[in-house]
Amino acid sequence: MRSCFARAKLCTNRPQKVCLCPFLPAHRLNISTNLYIIQHPAEENKVLRTVPLLAACLPQDKVKVKIGRRFNEERDPELSAICRNPSTLILYPGAEAINLEELVSNSPNNLSTIIIIDGTWSQAKDIFYKNSLFRLPRQVQLKTSVSSQYVIRTQPTNRCLSTLECAAVALAILEKNDHIQETLLRPLQALCSFQLQHGAQIRLSKEHLLKNGLYPKPMPKNKRKLRKMELLMNSVKI
């Protein structure tokens, strides 16, 4: 069994019996795509975040995590150069986004980097729309019917995926290798299994709770928030 110290700091605070290291690949995955994670500061200290699992599976020179809310050319010239590179993509759903799988089939050899925003949906939206740099790369989205396996954290809708899951699907498409997705999901599945065995509960999406009359909080009085709730109940993309 692989030691708890096989990946730096991943399992430092976890007992040996729930160590996640045995579920990591024996060798970091060999990928050609560069992955940039733009992480909201609120995610940095969350215990059950998925980015450390993702980073532990990938080559250190292929994944970079940048923490912050605001980015510009003066503050981060490296990120600015990445965003201006025509071979860079940013994963963020929306009307302007291209389906990643379709883009890859039409541009097989000209995609070197993908940017993914790590945070809640409201945090990701704030980062995307308030940083003009992130509207320079081609915007892509995932067309998948897969439900999230990150069942210990509440998602807005049944279609929302964690950062690790988004990266797993995107890298599998970009690298044309389904094994990548399976390998990256393995430690996430183990994390959720361990948490459920030790008292955690399966978290259903807000969409599911609202549709089935199970939402535990009173409906918001704020009109904008109420409208969001109504959209969730009607499965409208927000």
What span, in angstroms and rounded, lies between the C-alpha atoms of 223 and 220?
8
Return the pLDDT at 34.
97
Are the C-beta atoms of 182 and 204 separated by less than 8 Å?
no
3-state SS class at 67 = strand
In single-letter form, the type of residue at position 76 comes to D
Predicted confidence at residue 7, as pLDDT, reads 52
Helical spans, DSSP H, in the chain: 51-57, 77-84, 100-106, 121-129, 163-175, 178-197, 206-211, 223-233
Question: Tell me, what's the pLDDT at 154?
Answer: 64
Which of 27, 82, 109, 90 shows the shortest CA–CA distance to 60? 27
Q: How many residues does the chain have?
A: 238
Q: Is 47 exposed, middle or buried (0-12, 13-18, 19+ CB in 10 A)?
A: exposed
Rounded (5°) CA angle 173-177-83: 40
Cut 0.95: pTM above it: no
Q: What is the signed CA dihedral for 8, 12, 18, 24, rounded to 10 degrees? A: -10
Amino acid of residue 131: N
Nearest 10 degrees: CA dihedral of 188, 204, 224, 94?
Answer: 50
Tokens (6 digits) for 60? 């250190």
Q: What is the pLDDT of residues 127-155, one digit of tens each?
A: 999 999 999 999 999 987 777 777 666 66
Please report, in tens digits, the pLDDT of each residue of the chain (238 residues total).
344 444 545 554 567 777 888 899 999 999 999 999 999 999 988 877 889 999 999 999 999 999 999 999 999 999 999 999 999 999 999 899 999 999 999 876 678 999 999 998 889 999 999 999 999 999 999 987 777 777 666 666 566 788 999 999 999 999 999 999 999 999 999 988 888 887 776 665 555 455 666 656 665 556 566 565 455 445 444 4
Collect contacts of 44-49 with beta carbons under 8 A, ≥24 apart.
48/152, 48/153, 48/191, 48/195, 49/118, 49/163
Residue-level pLDDT at 1: 38
d(CA 142, CA 135): 17
Question: Could you identify the residue written with the tokens 């759903």?
Answer: 93
What's the pLDDT score for residue 15?
Answer: 72
Question: How many Cβ atoms are within 10 Å of 117's Cβ, its own excluded?
Answer: 24
**Are 187 and 49 within 8 A, CB to CB?**
no
